[in-house]
Amino acid sequence: MRRTANCPSCGAPVQFAWSSAVQTACPYCHSILVRHDVDLEKVGIVADLPPDASPIQVFTEGILDNRRFTVVGRIRYEWEQGGWNEWHIVFNDQSSGWLSDAQAEYAVSFLAAPPAPLPPPDQIRVGSQIRISGAPFYVTHLTPVRYIGFEGELPFVTTDRSEFLTADLRTHDARFATIDFSETPPLLFAGRFVSFDELRLSNLREFEGW
Amino acid sequence: MVTAYRVPAPAPLSCPNCGGRIELHGFAHTRSAVCIQCCSIIDTASPSLRVLQRFDRAQRHRPVLPLGSRGKLEGKTWEAIGFQVRTITVEGTQYSWHEYLLFNPYAGFRYLTFYDGHWNLVRTLRALPAFTTWKGRKAASFEGRVYSHFQTAEAATAFVMGEFPWAVRVGEKVEANDYVSPPWVLSGERDGKEVNWSLGVYIPGEEVWKAFGLKGAPPAAHGVYLNQPNPHTEKMKRSWRTFVLLVFVWVALIVAAVATAGNREVFRGNYRYVHGSPGETSFVTQTFQIPRDGNVEVEIRTDLDNNWAYFNLALLREDGAQGFDFGREVSYYHGTDSDGSWSEGSRSDSALLARVPAGTYYLRIEPEMDPQASARSAAGMSMNYEIIVRNDVPRFWLLLLALPLLLIAPLRHTFRSIGFETARWSESDYGAALGSSSEDDDE
């Protein structure tokens, strides 16, 4: 399934684990590469990611609802009081989603079609209720966030570093949703919280002393 | 082909205030760490190691679970990396508890709380409990379980030690709402608009001591903690189940006593008595066999009507070796008055001789009547009567006595269980000791 192209900057072979990847990084010269059909365009240089304590890394594998997935990339987000990772996961059928890891609290989400137009950011408050696929979701956090770095393969381009608003929504069961207001109309990601154990992760990072 | 990237152990910090060494264990999760030498809280995320706060050294507390201890709970290894003392004030009294921050690089964070010998293992929740009412009180439901509201209080951080994945500060206050369903406690901590929910489960101190391999005995638990499981409830249920079983046994014993008793009629005789007849009023019956060692019941049936009689009786062994003297009074009166019809006494009576050896016996019978007592009787001082003798009649009064004895254990456990719940709730916003808390007013 792997496809290879050459880095337009240094000529090194760049492998794609996921056929739909839009952005990746050259593992040799750290150029940020955006794919246009078969051509790769260099749009910048990868910034070093700050050290983080996620046990997950690119090529970590796991199982969600009996479907095997591989981590192919990550976006590091930052907000006022910290940061978290959205690991880009790709399933065997080439569908992809996100495994988020915020202080070792894990959640899996997928880009979803909003059932109705989502409210604009100025009409949303902590405590607001939004119905998504028949169930009430409650807005628990409204957080300005920004990308501070990425690695691996992503389904979109992350070169814009300006701050944007996200809304976190939770439910009475373990489902959750995020509204990403960086685009118009806003993007909806919906999923659920998962435990570390249920994902049966392998190829994890190791921690000295553990 | 993928080599695991090994995350190096975090390097210790040097306190920007006193230069003391601060060990770190939480990898890049740590956002603040405490220099315990000078009681400064350091912002570990700032490149210059900014001091977030300095707090009063006089308020130092010693953790009962030493920081750096590792223990196994819920199948995972946890390291105690942070310690907070938190305080609530209820009716002018301060209550303080310990909160230990536990860390595992894969499973994240848990908390161990400690109050007066009681421990809880707590995890933060990301699903939202729903508010409801239960038995007229406010309650929260979570994953199919209903939690009764216990207490709302302002909780303040009084002391910190170790490191935390947030910017910890002494004096920080939140509104803490506890809802209980033993052994679980659901806690919502409101900080401004945000409510952080957590779920705790009660664990005995011995388990904490064993999990962390601590020496000696854990501090003794005093009183009843809000989500401490009621040890009497299970005993109560068990003892009532045992009671039901024993009642079945008891009924079976009665049935067996009735079924196995010989209950044989060994003599029956019909007689007439007329007061004032010439001659001796006492007479003896013909002999009869009492086949089994055991009890003998002598029944007297009369046709007395508004009348009274007394029977002197003796059960005598034919060989004269043994005799049982006894007497029975029989009287039966009835009539009507302003309240309607009434009756008193009975036309028959019986006597039971508990232990009579088997053998050949006869009865001596001596009836008496009284002119005054017989004044209203149509028959005057005469009566017909029948004497029936039975051997080995079923007796189960001892078994009847057993029934209340069987109730002792279940009732005792029931009262203890109720007492335990009363002690639990006396510490809540709904306790008898707290007449009016602000929380009651806004319901």
Q: How does pLDDT run across B73-96, given as a tens digit for each residue? A: 999 999 999 999 999 988 888 999
B302 contacts B309 by C-beta, under 8 angstroms: yes
| Mean pLDDT, chain B, integer | 90
Nearest CA in chain A to B7: A207
pLDDT, residue B434, reads 43
B26-48 pLDDT tens trace = 999 999 999 999 999 999 988 89
B1 pLDDT higher than 80: no
Listed range (A144-148, B345-349, B438-442) with the worst mean pLDDT: B438-442
Average pLDDT over residues B228-248: 92
pLDDT more than 70, % of chain B: 96
- What contacts 24+ positions apart, CB below 8 Å, involve A4-12? A5/A35, A5/A38, A5/A39, A5/A40, A6/A40, A7/A31, A7/A33, A7/A40, A7/A42, A8/A33, A8/A39, A8/A40, A8/A41, A8/A42, A9/A42
> Mutation test of the interface with chain A: which of B3, B27, B146, choosing the one with the most A Cβ atoms within 10 A?
B27
A49 contacts A76 by C-beta, under 8 angstroms: yes
Average pLDDT over residues B96-101: 97
* Residues of chain B positioned with their CB less than 8 A from the CB of A203: 2, 4
| Mean pLDDT, chain A, integer | 89
pLDDT, residue B422, reads 92
Average pLDDT over residues A134-147: 90
Report the residue from B2, B9, B108 with minimal CB separation from A104: B108
pLDDT, residue A167, reads 93
Burial, B193: exposed, middle or buried (Cβ in 10 Å; 0-12, 13-18, 19+)?
A: exposed
> Mutation test of the interface with chain A: which of B104, B128, B147, choosing the one with the most A Cβ atoms within 10 A?
B128
pLDDT, residue B438, reads 40
Report the residue from A141, A203, A210 with minimal CB separation from B4: A203
Tokens 């659920």: give the residue: A192
Average pLDDT over residues B364-378: 87
Q: What are phi and psi of A183, to 5 degrees?
A: -125, 160
B250-270 pLDDT tens trace = 889 888 888 888 889 999 999
DSSP secondary structure string for all residues of A30-81: -EEEEEETTEEEEEEEPPPPPP---S--TT-EEEETTEEEEEEEEEEEEETT
Nearest CA in chain B to A61: B2
The Cα–Cα gap between B4 and A208 comes to 12
> Mutation test of the interface with chain A: which of B3, B5, B7, B191, choosing the one with the most A Cβ atoms within 10 A?
B7
Q: What are phi and psi of B232, to 5 degrees?
A: -90, -20
pLDDT, residue B440, reads 40
Task: Please name the residues between 254 and 283 in chain B that touch chain A, using a CB distance below 8 Å.
Answer: none
B439 pLDDT higher than 50: no
The Cα–Cα gap between B154 and B158 comes to 12
* Residues of chain B positioned with their CB less than 8 A from the CB of A107: 126
DSSP secondary structure string for all residues of A128-165: -EEEETTEEEEEEEEEEEEEEEEEE-BSS-------EE
* Residues of chain A positioned with their CB less than 8 A from the CB of B9: 207-209
Report the residue from A105, A196, A210 with minimal CB separation from B126: A105
Whether ipTM > 0.85 holds is yes
A24-60 pLDDT tens trace = 888 888 888 888 877 788 888 887 788 889 999 999 9
A70 pLDDT higher than 90: yes
* Contact state of A82 with B31 under an 8 Å Cβ cutoff: yes
The Cα–Cα gap between A140 and B126 comes to 10
* Contact state of B126 with A197 under an 8 Å Cβ cutoff: no
Higher-confidence residue: B163 or A42? B163
Higher-confidence residue: B14 or A38? B14
Residue B285 pLDDT grade (very low, low, confident, very high; cuts 50, 70, 90): very high
Give the amino acid at A25: A
pLDDT, residue A115, reads 80
Distance from CA of B406 to the nearest CA of A (A): 46
The Cα–Cα gap between A195 and B13 comes to 32
* Contact state of B165 with A103 under an 8 Å Cβ cutoff: yes
Residue B333 pLDDT grade (very low, low, confident, very high; cuts 50, 70, 90): very high
B436 pLDDT higher than 50: no
Average pLDDT over residues B167-177: 94
* SS3 of residue B399 by DSSP: helix
> Mutation test of the interface with chain B: which of A48, A61, A76, A103, choosing the one with the most B Cβ atoms within 10 A?
A103
CB atoms within 10 A of CB B218: 19
A74 pLDDT higher than 80: yes
pLDDT, residue B432, reads 63
B210 pLDDT higher than 90: yes
Partners of B435 in beta bridges: none
**Angle B224-B212-B198 (CA atoms, 0-180°, nearest 5)?**
55
**Residue B339 DSSP symbol:** T
* SS3 of residue B240 by DSSP: helix
pLDDT, residue B280, reads 81
B443 pLDDT higher than 50: no
The Cα–Cα gap between A154 and A29 comes to 18
B177 pLDDT higher than 90: yes
Listed range (A37-41, B175-179, B203-207, B243-247) with the worst mean pLDDT: A37-41
* SS3 of residue B274 by DSSP: strand
Q: Which of A36, A32, A27, A19 is nearest to A58 (CA)?
A: A27
Q: Judge whether B200 is closer than 8 Å to chain A, CB to CB.
A: no
A151-182 pLDDT tens trace = 888 888 876 778 899 999 999 988 999 999 98
Between helix B231-260 and helix B397-426 the angle, nearest 10°, is: 170
* SS3 of residue A21 by DSSP: coil
Average pLDDT over residues B175-196: 92
Average pLDDT over residues B286-301: 93
The Cα–Cα gap between A149 and A117 comes to 30
CA distances from A16 to A35, A44, B23 (A): 11, 19, 42
pLDDT more than 70, % of chain A: 99
Q: Which residues of A touch B (CB under 8 A)?
A: 50-53, 55, 57, 59, 81-82, 103-105, 107, 126-127, 138, 140-141, 170-176, 193, 196-197, 203-210
Average pLDDT over residues B424-431: 88
Burial, A29: exposed, middle or buried (Cβ in 10 Å; 0-12, 13-18, 19+)?
A: middle
pLDDT, residue B3, reads 53
Q: Are strands B6-7 and A206-207 parallel, antiparallel or unpaired?
A: parallel
pLDDT, residue B437, reads 41
Partners of B110 in beta bridges: B102
pLDDT, residue A21, reads 85
Average pLDDT over residues B365-389: 89
Report the residue from A59, A103, A207 with minimal CB separation from B108: A103
B12 contacts B30 by C-beta, under 8 angstroms: no
Average pLDDT over residues B237-248: 93
* Residues of chain A positioned with their CB less than 8 A from the CB of B104: 104, 210
